[in-house]
C-alpha cells in the first residue's frame, strides 16, 4: 500500500496517518508493522510510530501475507451451561473470539470446542464447525453450538426463520426519554470506516431491536434488548443511533469513564451480555431455554452506578 501525505497531514504521527488511510487495519497492528521495518517514508525505513510526517511524503506499507489459519484443538476452559448429544451451550466470557480469523489465529472458542468435542470438525463451515450464531469478542453470554449435522441444520434454520428468542442486558449512556421502544433501522457497513457498521445506510439490511429500561442509574441506564434480526453489532449500532451508546463501546462513541461526585467509574469493555436464549431442541422438538446472570465485571460497574 502506498499513500501520499496532503497538506492537512503535515505534523501528524505516522501511525495515526496510516490508521486514517487504512481503517480496516487496527492501529496496534500498524504500529507493529512500523516497528518491524515494514513502513517506508520516501523510500527510507522508519521504525518509530510517533514520527511526524510532512506534506508530500510518500508512505509505503509492506503488509505481510496472512498466516494460514489453524484449527488445532486447544485446552481452553469452557463455562458449559448445558450439553447433550446434539448441542452444547456456552456462557462465553468477554474477550473471547468465537472463531478464528485475521489477528485471531488461536485461542478462540472454536479451538476450545474442538478440544472438548473431538468429533465437531466437519459440521458446517470448515473454520466455524458447529457455529450457528456468534457474539462479538467483547460481548459475554450465551452461545449455542451444534454437535452434529442434523442439529446444525435445525439450528441454522431456526435462526434464519427467526423462531429463536434472544435477550441481552446492556448498560447504556444517559437516561432514555421513554421506558421502552423499538428501533427499526437497517444496518450495514459504514461507508467510510470499514470496521464499523451503521444504521440507515444504503444497502443496509433490515434490523429490528426492541428495548426496555430495567433501571435508571447515575449517568446511565440498565436496559434489556430483544433482537428480531441478528445483524453484526446490531444492538451497539442501534443504541448509538438514538444517542445512547453502550458504556465502554469506543467504536460507537460509548464512554470509557463515567464521572460521579468524588470518583470515576472506568469501563473496560462494551457493557453487553447475552443473558437469555430459547430454541427448539433439534433432537426432541421441545422448547428449551437458558438464562445466565451478569458477569462480575458488569455487576461491578452496575453496583457503582446505583
Say whether 136 is catalytic: yes
- Confidence category of residue 19, pLDDT binned at 50, 70, 90: confident
- Cell numbers 485461542 correspond to 107
User: In the predicted model, what is the mean pLDDT of residues 131-158?
Assistant: 95
What's the CATH number for 2-61?
3.10.290.10
User: In the predicted model, what is the mean pLDDT of residues 51-56?
Assistant: 93
pLDDT in tens, 262-276: 789 999 999 999 999
Catalytic residue among 9, 15, 57, 136: 136
> DSSP letter at 160?
H
pLDDT of residue 70: 61
More confident: 7 or 213:
213
pLDDT in tens, 234-257: 999 999 999 999 999 999 999 999
pLDDT of residue 82: 97
**Single pTM value for the model:** 0.78
* Fold of the domain built from segment(s) 80-161: Pseudouridine synthase (3.30.2350)
Second CATH level (architecture) for the domain 165-305: 2-Layer Sandwich (3.30)
Same fold, 80-161 and 165-305: yes
pLDDT of residue 67: 60
State the DSSP string of 218-285.
Answer: SSEEEEEEEESS--TTHHHHHHHHTT-PBTT-GGGT--SEEEETTEEEE--S--EEEEEEEEE-TTT-
> DSSP letter at 84?
-
- Confidence category of residue 171, pLDDT binned at 50, 70, 90: very high
Which of 10, 282, 296, 302 has the alpha carbon at shortest distance from 152?
A: 282
Rounded distance between C-alpha atoms, residue 220 and residue 271, angstroms: 11
More confident: 200 or 128:
200
pLDDT at 68 over 70: no
Domain ranges in the chain are: 2-61, 80-161, 165-305
Amino acid at each position: 500500500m502506498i499513500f501520499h501525505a496532503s497538506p492537512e497531514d503535515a505534523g501528524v504521527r505516522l501511525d495515526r496517518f496510516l490508521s486514517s488511510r487504512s481503517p480496516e487495519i487496527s492501529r496496534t497492528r500498524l504500529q507493529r508493522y512500523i516497528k518491524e521495518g515494514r513502513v517506508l517514508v520516501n523510500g527510507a525505513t522508519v521504525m518509530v510510530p510517533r514520527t511526524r510526517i510532512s506534506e508530500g511524503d510518500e508512505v509505503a506499507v509492506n503488509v505481510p501475507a496472512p498466516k494460514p489459519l489453524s484449527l488445532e484443538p486447544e485446552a481452553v476452559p469452557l463455562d458449559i451451561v448445558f450439553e447433550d448429544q446434539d448441542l452444547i451451550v456456552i456462557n462465553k466470557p468477554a474477550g473471547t473470539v468465537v472463531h478464528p480469523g485475521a489477528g485471531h489465529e488461536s485461542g478462540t472458542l472454536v479451538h476450545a470446542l474442538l478440544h472438548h468435542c473431538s468429533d465437531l470438525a466437519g459440521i458446517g463451515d470448515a473454520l466455524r464447525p458447529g457455529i450457528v450464531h456468534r457474539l462479538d469478542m467483547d460481548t459475554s453470554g450465551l452461545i449455542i453450538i451444534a454437535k452434529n449435522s442434523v442439529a446444525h441444520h435445525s439450528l441454522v434454520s431456526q435462526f434464519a426463520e427467526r423462531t429463536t428468542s434472544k435477550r441481552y442486558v446492556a448498560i447504556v449512556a444517559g437516561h432514555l426519554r421513554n421506558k421502552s421502544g423499538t428501533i427499526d433501522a437497517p444496518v450495514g457497513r459504514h461507508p467510510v470506516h470499514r470496521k464499523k457498521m451503521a444504521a440507515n445506510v444504503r444497502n443496509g439490511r433490515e434490523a429490528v431491536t426492541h428495548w426496555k429500561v430495567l433501571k435508571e442509574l447515575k449517568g446511565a441506564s440498565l436496559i434489556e434488548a430483544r433482537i428480531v434480526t441478528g445483524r453484526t453489532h446490531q444492538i451497539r449500532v442501534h443504541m448509538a443511533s438514538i444517542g445512547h451508546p453502550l458504556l465502554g463501546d469506543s467504536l460507537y462513541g460509548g464512554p470509557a469513564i463515567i464521572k460521579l461526585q468524588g470518583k470515576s467509574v472506568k469501563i473496560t469493555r462494551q457493557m453487553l451480555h447475552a443473558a437469555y436464549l430459547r430454541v427448539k431442541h433439534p433432537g426432541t422438538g421441545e422448547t428449551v431455554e437458558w438464562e445466565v446472570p451478569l458477569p462480575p465485571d458488569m455487576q461491578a460497574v452496575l453496583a457503582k452506578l446505583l
